[in-house]
Amino acid sequence: MVTRYQDVLLGTAEEFINYLSPMESRWDLGTYIYRGQGDSTYTLTPSVCRKGEGSFAYGSAMRMFGDTSRSQVSFEMEIVKKFLAGCDSAGLVIPGYDERLKQFFRFDSEIFLSDPREWPFVLLYEVLAAAQHHGVPTRLLDWSKRSFVAAYFAASSANQNTYASHKISVWALNTSSSQAWQRLRIIDPPGGTSKNLAAQSGIFTMQVNSDLYDDLYRLIPLEDEDEIYSFEKDVPPFALYKISLPVSEVPKLIQLCAKFGVSGTTLFPGYEGVAKDVQEWAKEQVGMRIQLNEEAYSES
């Protein structure tokens, strides 16, 4: 299949960082946001919208017996309700969640099932952003306004995934024409939504159900959405880049990101971030030991 995005494969962590550098003029030609993925084979599809292995709650009855857009919306609503109920029980404040929304979910949420195109409406965006940022899967995709943050997340994710492919990727999406998009929304919540979100310069994309009724539900991966390319010409700025790097370069990439002030400690202010740094340091030490052993073996 011919790709419509700019597919770039680089060989070293240094090349990767240089290509993504905000000093590179290519990024000044558009308004780009960046997403890091620890497995370059993954499409730009939220786990809650996927089918089969790798999807959220794979194997559950909710996933096995519901393939319509109505059942998909019902599934997503139940996730949000579970999240909000848990926050209520724990006394946690969720930005955007007030008594009006609480009553809506209790009495009026069936409107989304009667017409799945209505899901989700604007008043839910901040709630979805908070849920997504705290690890609850929604139809949002996480991005950052900073390219090196995306590079760190791609590397960190590969570190945690034993079964990752041989490459990591950072996607760069040009949002200059986003006001004209119909099926894709840019959601830029206030920094107060989460201190982690603020530290990561987080931003989200969301694909909507604008042309769906109760037919078979199939979400088009973002990289296949026609409208993001509709304003693209044959010269930069391009709509979408996929920049990939061999997974063997991950330890070096994490080191380089840290030199630019991008690490677990800075992106997750608090104990969680410090713990991430310790875990990545340990993996780095193991990687160095393996590399030294391989070099010694090759010389013998």
Q: Each residue of 118-128: pLDDT tens digit?
A: 788 888 898 99
Q: What is the C-alpha to C-alpha distance for residues 75 and 291, in angstroms, rounded to an integer?
A: 46
- Cα distances from 257 to residues 91, 94, 203, 266, in angstroms, run 36, 31, 20, 11
Predicted confidence (pLDDT) per residue in 217-273, tens digit: 777 899 999 999 998 888 889 999 999 999 999 999 999 999 999 998 888 766 565
Q: What is the C-alpha to C-alpha distance for residues 256 and 239, in angstroms, rounded to an integer?
A: 27
In 3D space, the residue among 202, 242, 230 whose CA is nearest the CA of residue 43 turns out to be: 242
Q: 73 CB contacts (<8 Å, ≥6 apart)?
A: 112, 113, 116, 119, 209
- Cα distances from 288 to residues 13, 123, 218, 252, 253, in angstroms, run 15, 49, 44, 10, 14
Write down the mean pLDDT value for the chain. 84
Q: What is the C-alpha to C-alpha distance for residues 203 and 141, in angstroms, rounded to an integer?
A: 8
Q: What is the C-alpha to C-alpha distance for residues 139 and 101, in angstroms, rounded to an integer?
A: 19
pTM, whole model, 2 decimals?
Answer: 0.86
Higher pLDDT, 196 or 167: 167
What's residue 168's pLDDT? 96
What's residue 287's pLDDT? 53
Domain ranges of the chain: 41-146+175-222+247-299
Q: What is the C-alpha to C-alpha distance for residues 169 and 281, in angstroms, rounded to an integer?
A: 21
